[in-house]
């Protein structure tokens, strides 16, 4: 197995800057598109297509006499049965999203360190350690939800994001438990928080900018249900196609940042 670092990935000598890290992430995706994007694509493509097929099936049969919501089943807000299906779809999407995120981190880290992993080798840690990934996600979701209710809590959230922003990387790459990964993330980010926040802010701005360029579902007044379902299906495919490289870019940047700073952390 080749142990030489991938082209464009420097050996850790000093703290990486925001621009340097983002440039390295872009270069890694450009030079290794299959290794960086295939893990997430493998997970997200079936999810998007499955949601489209489920929407068409339900609103052509079970929900045929109910109003078709804007955006399909993912836009449902009324009707007990529709909301129940929405909850199931969201829950499945969240679990699959965590798996895709984990596999992306593993694959990006391997390529950045000059190693080669197959798709199954990238997906395996995400599946076998899924319980811990879900635990971390639940911790973040509950803590964020509670803090969002107060002004002080909202002010604290960026600080906590910076201190725990590499917890997924630590959990997957260091073979630690969820709580130990949070502790290690807290220690590792001491003195490295502002750069990580800069990386995340750039990624968020990129996501919002690209999101503005993607059209939204049209109104229902001027077209049939079948036409709306077809348009919503195309929009979901477009949105998924845009989201994958942006999401991979964000995970690649954070993962590369972590790989650099962990060598400097006692």
pLDDT of residue 60: 81
The verdict on residue 130 lying in a domain is yes
User: How far is Cα of residue 95 from the mean position of the Cα atoms in its chain?
Assistant: 11
6 confidence band (pLDDT: 50, 70, 90): low
pLDDT of residue 79: 63
Which class for 206: exposed (0-12), middle (13-18), buried (19 or more C-beta within 10 A)? Answer: middle
CA distances from 187 to 18, 119, 198, 265 (A): 20, 31, 19, 8
What are 231's two structure tokens?
């348009």
How many residues can be counted in the chain?
Answer: 266
The verdict on residue 221 lying in a domain is yes
The verdict on residue 4 lying in a domain is no
Q: Please calculate the CA angle 72-75-79 and round it to the nearest 5 degrees.
A: 95
Residue 64 has pLDDT above 70, yes or no: yes
The tally of domains found in the chain comes to 1
pLDDT of residue 124: 93
Average pLDDT, the chain: 83
pLDDT of residue 185: 93
200 confidence band (pLDDT: 50, 70, 90): confident
The verdict on residue 12 lying in a domain is no
Report the distance separating Cα 23 and Cα 93, nearest Å: 30
pLDDT of residue 94: 87
Report the distance separating Cα 185 and Cα 49, nearest Å: 36
- What whole-number percentage of the chain has pLDDT above 70? 85
pLDDT, tens digit, for every residue of 73-88? Answer: 666 666 677 777 778 8
- What whole-number percentage of the chain has pLDDT above 90? 34
Q: What is the mean pLDDT of residues 55-69?
A: 78
Residue 6 vs residue 152, higher pLDDT: 152
The verdict on residue 132 lying in a domain is yes
The verdict on residue 209 lying in a domain is yes
Name the residue range of residue 58's domain.
Answer: 18-262
Q: How many CB atoms sit inside 10 A of residue 222's CB?
A: 8
Q: What is the mean pLDDT of residues 163-191?
A: 91
Residue 65 has pLDDT above 90, yes or no: no
The verdict on residue 230 lying in a domain is yes
Q: What is the pTM of this model?
A: 0.84
pLDDT, tens digit, for every residue of 37-58? Answer: 999 999 988 988 888 888 888 8
pLDDT of residue 86: 77
Residue 7 vs residue 48, higher pLDDT: 48
262 confidence band (pLDDT: 50, 70, 90): confident
pLDDT of residue 9: 46
The verdict on residue 28 lying in a domain is yes
pLDDT, tens digit, for every residue of 126-163? Answer: 999 999 999 999 999 998 888 888 888 888 888 888 89
- DSSP letters along the chain, please? ---SPPTT-PPP-SPPPHHHHHHHHHHHHHH-HHHHHHHHHHHHHHHHHHHHHHHHHHTTTTTTTSPPPTTGGGG--SSHHHHHHHHHHHHHHHHHHHHHHHHHHHHHHHHHTT----HHHHHHHHHHTHHHHHHHHHHHHHHHHHHTTSHHHHHHHHHHHHHHTTHHHHHHHTT--HHHHHHHHHHHTTTTHHHHHHHHHHHHHHHHHHHHHSPPPPPSTTS-HHHHHHHHHHHHHHHHHHHHHHHHHHHHHHHHHHHHHHTT--
Q: What is the mean pLDDT of residues 159-168?
A: 91
């Amino acid at each position: 197995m080749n142990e030489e670092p991938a082209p464009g990935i420097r050996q850790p000598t000093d703290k990486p800057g925001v621009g340097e890290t983002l440039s390295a992430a872009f270069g890694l995706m450009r030079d290794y598109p299959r290794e960086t994007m295939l893990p997430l694509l493998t997970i997200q493509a079936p999810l998007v297509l499955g949601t489209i097929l489920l929407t068409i099936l339900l609103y052509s049969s079970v929900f045929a006499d109910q109003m078709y919501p804007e955006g399909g089943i993912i836009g449902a807000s009324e009707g007990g049965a529709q909301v129940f299906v929405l909850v199931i779809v969201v829950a499945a999407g969240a679990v699959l999203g965590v798996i895709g995120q984990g596999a992306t981190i593993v694959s990006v880290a391997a390529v950045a360190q000059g190693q080669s992993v197959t798709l199954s080798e990238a997906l395996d840690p995400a599946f076998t350690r899924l319980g811990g990934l879900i635990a971390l996600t639940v911790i973040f979701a509950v803590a964020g939800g509670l803090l969002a209710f107060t002004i002080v809590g909202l002010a604290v959230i960026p600080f906590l994001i910076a201190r725990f922003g590499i917890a997924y990387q630590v959990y997957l790459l260091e073979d630690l438990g969820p709580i130990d990964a949070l502790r290690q993330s807290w220690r590792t980010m001491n003195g490295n928080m502002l750069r990580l926040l800069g990386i995340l802010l750039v990624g968020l701005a990129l996501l919002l900018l690209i999101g503005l360029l993607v059209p939204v579902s049209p109104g229902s007044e001027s077209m049939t249900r079948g036409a709306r379902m077809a348009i919503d299906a195309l929009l979901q495919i477009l949105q998924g196609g845009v989201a994958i490289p942006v999401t991979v870019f964000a995970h690649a940047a954070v993962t590369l940042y972590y790989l650099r700073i962990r060598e400097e952390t006692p």
